[in-house]
Amino acid sequence: MTTEPLGELNLPHRQLLGPGPSNVHPRVYRAMMQPVIGYLDPVFIQLMDDTQRPLRTAFRTENDMTMAISGTGTAGMEAAIYNITEPGDNVIVCMNGFFGTRMADMAKRCGATVFPVEAEWGRIIEPEQISKALKKAGRVKAVMIVHGETSTGILQPLEEISRITHEAGALLLVDAVTSLTGCELRIDDWGIDVCYSATQKCLSGPPGMAPLTVSEAAMKVVQSRKEPVASFYVDLNILGRYWGGGTTRMYHHTPPMTMLYALREGLRIVLEEGIEARIVRHKRNADALTAGLNAMGMTLHAQEGYRLPPLTTVSVPDGVDERKLRQGLLDEHNIEVGGGIGDLAGKIMRIGLMGYNSTPQNVLGLLFALETELLKHGVGLDKGAGVAASVRFYDEN
């Protein structure tokens, strides 16, 4: 068997304005060029400490168990659900998008009985729905909900749901993959027990690490399980001996060192900007994009008043092939945006302005490119209206 030699890898540099990954900050790439060292090297142990501290700041928590799972956001979801959930548990899973449905699937794989709380894809879960489900389900181990639903562009309010959940004696488990450092998120103040995220969105790193924070109450649940966690890889009882601090850390697995370098540098950039300033920046650019889309006559999909600033969902005009429209953006303008998934496949586009990519330049460039491609599809537009409306918004805000 003969194999032709591989040529040099030479990938295009895309403008990634979809649901993730987003473009990596140049400083993060530079950090990833540092040499690989041993997983128990004192320098690496110090690097773990140096990553945990800013992670607590980003999550706004004092939780000791704050770390980064080696893997993408889905690994963070597994770590959160697999550690909390056991066979026979009752859990409430809020399903108003693709990732809420995935949470339910994982909980079922752990042997839990899932009580779904559902809403239309593009609308929030109301606190009253949680109250009714808690009364119906009896003793509930956890309520699971997505904060920033990447499939729909919804930003879910959590404070009232947290209060209701804890009054019922349950834990609150939250997916913050798209919201961490791009939206207001306060783990301790809001009483969130378990929360996970990912590096490839508002943290401006490559996919590959999943920040996770777990409250003291949730860790007591993990430590008092009747059965071992189904996954060795994400078992917090064992991982805690590696991430738990001090110089006597015990080997668990070989972590992806360069990804930890990336997370550390991404967090350093977050803290230099300031979390509040970063949240304001994401909101301002999302609002400027919305102003432009509205001026072009396009309809936003997510419920008004509950839209996710790092990710905007917009309905595709009637008669336009969503896939061909996005392909035109990629081929002619080198811009990637996302299509709808699940119930929204072919119906919406998902536009990401996350972390390093949340800039006025990207807003204006995307609006120009989108207008150009829509005109090719025969959509009647007031030429230049989108960019002009966005510029006016920036001038006034």
Q: From first to last of its 397 residues, what are the pLDDT tens digits of the chain?
A: 667 888 999 999 999 999 999 999 999 999 999 999 998 898 998 999 999 999 999 999 999 999 999 999 999 999 999 999 999 999 999 999 999 999 999 999 999 999 999 999 999 999 999 999 999 999 999 999 999 999 999 999 999 999 999 999 999 999 999 999 999 999 999 999 999 999 999 999 999 999 999 999 999 999 999 999 999 999 999 998 888 755 567 888 989 999 999 999 999 999 999 999 999 999 999 999 999 999 999 999 999 999 999 999 999 999 999 999 999 999 999 999 999 999 899 999 999 999 999 999 999 999 999 999 999 999 988 889 999 999 999 999 9
Q: How many residues belong to the chain?
A: 397
Query: pLDDT per residue over 51-74, tens digit each?
Result: 999 999 999 999 999 999 999 999
Give yes or no for a contact between 204 and 174, defined as CB atoms under 8 angstroms apart.
Answer: no
Q: 103 in helix, strand or coil? A: helix
Residues 6 or more apart whose CB falls under 8 angstroms from that of 141 comprise 84, 85, 86, 89, 90, 91, 112, 170, 171, 221
AA identity, residue 32 = M
For the chain, the domains span 26-271, 275-396
Edge-to-edge strand list for the sheet holding 113-118: 65-70, 209-214, 194-196, 171-175, 142-146, 90-95, 113-118
Give yes or no for a contact between 23 and 357, defined as CB atoms under 8 angstroms apart.
Answer: yes
CATH of 26-271, one of 3.40.640.10, 3.90.1410.10, 2.80.10.50, 3.40.50.300: 3.40.640.10
pTM of the model: 0.96
Homologous superfamily (CATH) for 275-396:
Aspartate Aminotransferase, domain 1 (3.90.1150.10)
